[in-house]
């Protein structure tokens, strides 16, 4: 290592807050929320490196991306973005991430959405819109393994509708004039699209002063809870079913889920649930309808 120069260090990334309504003001720019692994690329005098969201060095896993980083027109860089497994149409396929990381890393791509450092200058105090202009000049034409995250200014509702129609996970909105600050900040917000699907209702959780929740499973595996927001007649039918068809706690349900407020339901009830897209467990979920095979 050269004694006259230390290496650039990982910077804790800025994180968006989850919101249920997108910003509508023209003070915001909007980007697609890419479904992959948040990654920070660092280039300095000793070469390129790639770090996970928490600062773990994954340079060897992402070696083609690191090689592409070292060819960019800059001596030093810190780029913020997402590593994705793109399909032929450019859409990210999260389910292919681990396979490509292990066997086909050259089929991964890095979508750059921010730049924190360039050629000895810390850019974090600059407005977001200015940082993105600098970023574009570094990564253009942005058609290869390192890509540029396109954005629109204003029109948040229309952008969200387009993202939803394309079947993407959601969007990230950023205040155009905000600096880059590590950690969670309301200058960045993410809004996720909604999905509706059928799940197995395996239990009901009732607590005084709280909304009634249904415990859901898919293929026998617990996936989370959803507020039972159906009409009164459906709720009453469900409660009658509980009275006559109580069951034991199913296998595969975490022990922490069980408790005196939970009543287990015998198999046969399907719940149609609305929930946030792209989550491993149900979030902000609500039951839209119930179908009881026993009635």
User: Quick check: 209 and 266 in contact, CB under 8 A?
Assistant: no
What is the CA angle 62-36-43, rounded to 5? 40
Active-site residue (options: 33, 118, 192, 205): 33
Residue with tokens 């095979």: 293
- Residues 261, 92: Cα–Cα separation, whole Å: 40
Does the annotation mark 33 as catalytic?
yes
Q: Which residues of 154-168 are buried (b: 16+ CB within 10 A; e: fewer)?
A: bbbeebbeebbeeeb
In degrees and rounded to multiples of 5, residue 276 shows phi and psi of: -70, 135
Any idea of the CA torsion for 265, 268, 273, 279, to the nearest 10 degrees?
A: 80
Alpha helix locations (H) across the chain? 63-69, 97-103, 128-139, 156-165, 232-244
Buried/exposed 73-103: b ≥16 CB within 10 Å, e otherwise: ebebbbbbbbbbbbeeeeebeeebbeebbee
Closest-CA residue to 227 (of 241, 206, 197, 242): 206
* DSSP-derived 3-state class of residue 159: helix
* Catalytic residue ranges: 33
């Amino acid at each position: 290592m050269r004694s006259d120069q230390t290496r650039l260090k990982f910077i804790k990334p800025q994180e968006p807050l989850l919101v249920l309504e997108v910003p509508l003001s023209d003070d915001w720019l909007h980007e697609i929320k890419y479904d992959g692994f948040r990654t920070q690329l660092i280039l300095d005098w000793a070469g390129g490196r790639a770090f996970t969201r928490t600062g773990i060095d994954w340079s060897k896993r992402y070696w083609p991306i690191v090689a592409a980083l070292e060819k960019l027109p800059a001596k030093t860089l810190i780029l913020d973005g997402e590593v994705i497994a793109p399909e032929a149409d450019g859409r990210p396929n999260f389910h292919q991430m681990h396979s490509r990381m292990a066997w086909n890393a050259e089929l991964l791509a890095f979508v750059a959405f921010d730049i924190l450092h360039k050629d000895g200058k810390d850019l974090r105090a600059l407005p977001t819109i200015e940082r993105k202009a600098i970023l574009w000049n570094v990564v253009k034409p942005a058609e290869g393994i390192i890509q540029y995250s396109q954005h629109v200014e204003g029109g948040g509702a229309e952008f969200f509708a387009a993202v939803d129609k394309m079947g993407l996970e959601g969007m990230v909105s950023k205040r155009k004039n905000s600096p880059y600050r590590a950690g969670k900040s309301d200058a960045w917000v993410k809004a996720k699209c909604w999905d509706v699907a059928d799940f197995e209702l395996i239990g009901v959780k009732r607590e005084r002063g709280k909304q009634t929740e249904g415990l859901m499973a898919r293929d026998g595996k617990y996936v989370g809870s959803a507020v039972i927001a159906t009409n009164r007649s459906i709720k009453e039918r469900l409660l009658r079913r509980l009275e006559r068809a109580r069951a034991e706690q199913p296998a595969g349900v975490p022990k922490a889920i069980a408790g005196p407020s939970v009543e287990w339901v015998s198999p046969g009830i399907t719940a149609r649930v609305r929930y946030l897209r792209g989550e491993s467990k149900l979030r902000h979920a609500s039951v839209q309808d119930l179908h009881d095979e026993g009635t």
